[in-house]
Amino acid sequence: MQKEGQLRVLFVINPVSGGKAKTDWETQIRNTIRDSIHEMEFFLLTGEDDESSVRHHIERVQPDRVVAVGGDGTVKLVAGLLLDRNIPLGILPAGSANGMAREFGLPLDVESALKVVLGGIPTPIDLLSVNDGDICIHLSDLGLNAMLVKYFEGSKKRGMWGYGRAVLRVLWQKQKIHASIETDKESVRRGAYMIVLANARKYGTGANINPDGDPSDGYFEVVIVRRLNLVEILKALFTNRSFDASKIEVLKARQVTIQTSKRTYFQVDGEYRGKTGRVVAHILPAAVKVLLPAKDRES
């Protein structure tokens, strides 16, 4: 029987997030909150049937909250499994970019992040349903960045060096997309280097692709990057600068269908999904609760 005020917390750990040597996250978490009254359960992802295994652990443990220990891919996995469950999601940033943690103004050090996990405020956020039920919590896109994700996933050099190599490769073979885009409000035809489905504002690198985005407003943005040059791309990818507003177009939407003239690279929350000629997405309002600091989110 749980004691008064005691929480049962399930930590879902990706042991190789961030491209570093394996870190014993379980030991680090236990040591940090060893004097806590809360019950802790741990599950380590293996890359084999993770979704089914985590779902089984949630049903077995019946936790009061589930914590994703990893990068955006781990956060996405756990968020998808908490859809339609009244269980808050905690985030312990352990990836190489940690885009969602930065989006929500979460602390990046373990001790401070755990304080939010145990004492934060459950706050409803939207998700996107993409192409027959694939869940997007952050950013999905067609084109240049998705190509970058593909090359980065295949790179033997992880971290910023591997990312830099992938950037140079993508810039060398920059390709333009020709697409028809139909939202619940309008239909347009555009040529673009990237088409982004943005439930948030920034990529994990800090690039501010959607400055007015809000992951809890019941909408997402379709960001069409129509013109780019090398200097602008590098500034956007490696600094906190926003993309040049004169070179992008933003469509606010609840749903969208994108049809491209040729199959092109597509990624969802930093995970490459292959080439596609069609993307269909719609908003899932207030789909999951995320544990956030008591103060307002940072801008």
Instruction: Considering only the C-alpha atoms of the chain, give the largest distance between any 2 of them, rounded to a whole number of Å.
Output: 61
Task: Name the nearest CA neighbour of 204 among 276, 254, 271.
Answer: 271
Q: Which helix (H) or strand (E) holds 162?
A: helix 159-172
Residue 298 has pLDDT above 50, yes or no: no
Q: What is the pLDDT of residue 209?
A: 83
CB atoms under 10 Å from CB of 282, counted, come to 14
Query: Does residue 52 contact residue 60 with C-beta atoms inside 8 Å?
Result: no
State mean pLDDT over 106-111. Answer: 89
Summarize the confidence of residues 210-219 as an average pLDDT.
Answer: 91
State residue 286's pLDDT score: 95
Question: Does the structure show a pLDDT above 80 at 152?
Answer: no
Dist. CA 134–CA 153, nearest whole Å: 19
User: Could you count the other beta carbons within 10 Å of the beta carbon of residue 22?
Assistant: 8
Mean pLDDT of 132-158: 79
Residue 81 binned pLDDT confidence (cut-offs 50, 70, 90): very high
pLDDT at 155: 58
Q: Which of 14-28, 37-51, 61-75, 221-235 has the lowest mean pLDDT?
A: 14-28
Look at residue 289 and tell me whether its pLDDT is greater than 90.
yes
- Give the range among 109-113, 226-230, 250-254 with minimum mean pLDDT: 226-230
Binned at pLDDT 50, 70 and 90, residue 293 comes out as very high
What mean pLDDT is predicted for residues 72-85?
Answer: 91
Mean pLDDT in the chain?
A: 85
CA distance readout (Å), 258 to 177, 220, 253: 11, 14, 12
Catalogue all structural domains in the chain, each as residue range(s) with its CATH number: 8-119 (3.40.50.10330), 134-285 (2.60.200.40)
pLDDT of residue 297: 47
The model's pTM:
0.84
pLDDT band of 198, cuts 50, 70, 90: very high
Specify the pLDDT at position 72.
84
